[in-house]
Structure 1
Amino acid sequence: MDGKRMGVCLLAFLMVTALCGVIPSNSYASAEETIETSFKIAENINYFPDEVKSKVQELQWRVTDGHALVHKDGIAYVILSLGIRPTTGYAIEVDSVVRINDTRLLIWANEIKPQPHAVVSPQLTSPVQVLSMPDPSHKIKHVSVWIN
């Protein structure tokens, strides 16, 4: 998604949520006030705290997609799950992470599907992606995720 289109989508989302009363109208940021957030993508879940591993296992075998936020030792972990898929070859690719007012993260990601003629195993899988970012004051409270 290009930056201009993402900015327009972000601004529209913020305006709709403010009008619906989800967040106070004076607390949302304009598109100019949002900042790209640096994050790391987990390579090996075994090295993460037990609280994160537990939340991954909880989300991993859901029928539908989901996400969760876990704070541990000054790090915010965001777990993204696609839910159960019928074969191998599925994955989550994070497109962008935007932080708003120190308390809210907006995440855009894509579901990578196997190519039509790819060789896949007919087994249930559950793609998960774990993002980590510094948050020493535990300010991040809300995460909104869009997976295309």
Structure 2
Amino acid sequence: MDGKRMRVCLLAFLMVFAFWGVIPSGSYASAEEPLETSFKIVENIKYLPNEVKNKVQELQWRVTDGHALVHKDGIAYVILSLGIRPTTGYAIEVDSIVRINDTRLLIWANEVKPQPHAVVSPQLTSPVQVLSMPDPFHKIKHVSVWIN
């Protein structure tokens, strides 16, 4: 293969990988930029848009934990769910959110368990936490969540 043809193939190869996100874009230079000031914890789920409420209900009564991303009216909603728990007293506490690039978020959270001698009700509960953050151009596409 001559030199010109080799350069064209290499350029095409690099463009394909850049398109797929394998090669970091220029926005990756600001990786691990904390977003802690730009997200809000939603206190009252009943005032959320219906699409978000429906996703909360879908995740809420799963046996295992889960998460979802819903865009509505320029806001990205991230829903975190612990799944079903045997008693009251469980909660989700968000530890940190890190933006990897324009499209990816990493979220670390902790499962708060009732204290050993706490008074709890023996009823099934399903702790959920909803976060909201501005995303007017729907750039956030992927969310990875770790719950300890």
Would the TM-score normalized by the shorter structure come out above 0.5?
Answer: yes
1:147 is matched with which residue? 147
Identity of counterpart residues, as a percentage? 83
TM-score normalised over the length of structure 1:
0.81
Does 1:26 find its partner at 2:33?
Answer: no
| CA drift at 1:120 | 0.2
Q: How many residues align?
A: 126
Runs of 4+ residues deviating >4 angstroms: none
TM-score normalised over the length of structure 2:
0.81
| CA drift at 1:23 | 5.3
CA RMSD of aligned residues (A): 1.6
* Residues 11-61 of structure 1, C-alpha deviations (whole Å, 9 max, x = no match): xxxxxxxxxxx951435946x632111200010001110000000000000
Change in CA separation of 1:87 and 1:23 when aligned onto 2, cut-off 3 Å: farther
Unaligned runs of 5+ in 2: 1-19
Secondary structure, counterpart of 1:26 in structure 2: coil
2:126 is matched with which residue? 126
| CA drift at 1:100 | 1.8
1:104 is matched with which residue? 104
Higher Rg of the two aligned structures: 2
In the alignment, the residues of structure 1 paired with residue 31 and residue 147 of structure 2 have an alpha-carbon distance, to the nearest angstrom, of 23
1:44 is matched with which residue? 44
